[in-house]
Copies of this chain bind each other. A is one copy, B any other.
Amino acid sequence: MAEKKWRTAITRHVEHETYVRGYRLLDLVGNLSFAQAIYLVLKGELPNEAESKMMEAIFVSVIDHGIAPPSVIAARAVASGGNSLNVGVAAGVMAFGSAHGGALEDAMRFIQENVASGRPVNEVVSEYMSQKKPIPGFGHRYYKEFDPRTRRLMELAKTYGFYGKHCEFAEKVEEEIFKQKGKRIVLNVDGAIAAVASEMGFDWRLGKGFFIIGRVPGLVAHVYEELTTEKPFSKRLNEEEETEYTGVPPRELPVEFKKV
């Protein structure tokens, strides 16, 4: 028999009943919290109490960050063009590229690969310092001593038993940067989530998924707000006053192009 072209280990139907990761979906409804069901879908197994609590905290920590990020600008602009809720939200999700949510993935990879290799922290840090590469998950525009969100997540990680080698590594990197550079470059909230999610055994390739799942409710709220309180084709940018034209001045079309 020919190999089938579509394969999945997530969900299947047996006699019109949906089974998610082996469990009857209907049994999950009313019995699992949304975050527990997300854990099941992503990891393939049910979370224990501590894992459940940690998941709830992670998703809540990124639920919205205001109207200014590129994702919200994109989502509201697309909605404003006269599109449905789903299309606006999708544009927001598209904006979550390497510079917007991507740090979570990069930081998970950084932490997981270095913890796995067992390389001394001072070596890892000095490599980045000497090449002047930013370390993913570190640094913040305003927080220069510590990131309060990181502190919060690390406290919770300790409470729920996820403060293990990945979190330790991340905090040691912060200390080592301070030692080598003489100033702090703080472990930011992306780095903190990355450390905890690594501790929970999630693959770094799934990193951006935490950000996407956690932030989509914020995007839904923004697009709904745009659609219900603003006029279509919003004039957010006044070309004359707010843009700089950096191109060539008006010029004549050469005569050889003039046909009509």
Which A residues contact B (CB, under 8 angstroms)?
A: 3-14, 16-35, 37-38, 41-42, 44, 46, 53, 55-57, 59-61, 63-68, 70-71, 73-74, 77-78, 80-87, 89-91, 93-102, 105, 142-143, 148-149, 152-153, 155-156, 159, 203, 205-206, 208-209, 212-214, 216-218, 220-222, 224-225, 227-230, 232-240, 242-251, 253-254, 257-260
Contact = CB atoms under 8 A, between A and B. Distances in A.
Contact of A212 (B7, B70, B86, B242): B86
A207 B73 CA distance: 22
A179 to B, nearest CB: 26
Given A8-B222, A37-B217, A85 B148 contact: no
13 contacts: A6-B242, A10-B64, A12-B247, A16-B143, A26-B149, A31-B257, A32-B60, A74-B74, A78-B94, A80-B95, A99-B232, A205-B227, A212-B220
Contacts of A86: 93-97, 101, 208, 212
Contacts of A55: 34
Contacts of A3: 244
User: Which of A60, A77, A86 has its CB near the most chain B CB atoms (within 10 A)?
Assistant: A86
Given A205-B227, A259-B30, A236 B85 contact: no
Given A6-B244, A78-B95, A87-B94, 13 more contacts: A5-B234, A10-B221, A11-B67, A18-B65, A28-B63, A31-B257, A34-B56, A38-B217, A42-B224, A70-B77, A70-B78, A83-B95, A86-B97
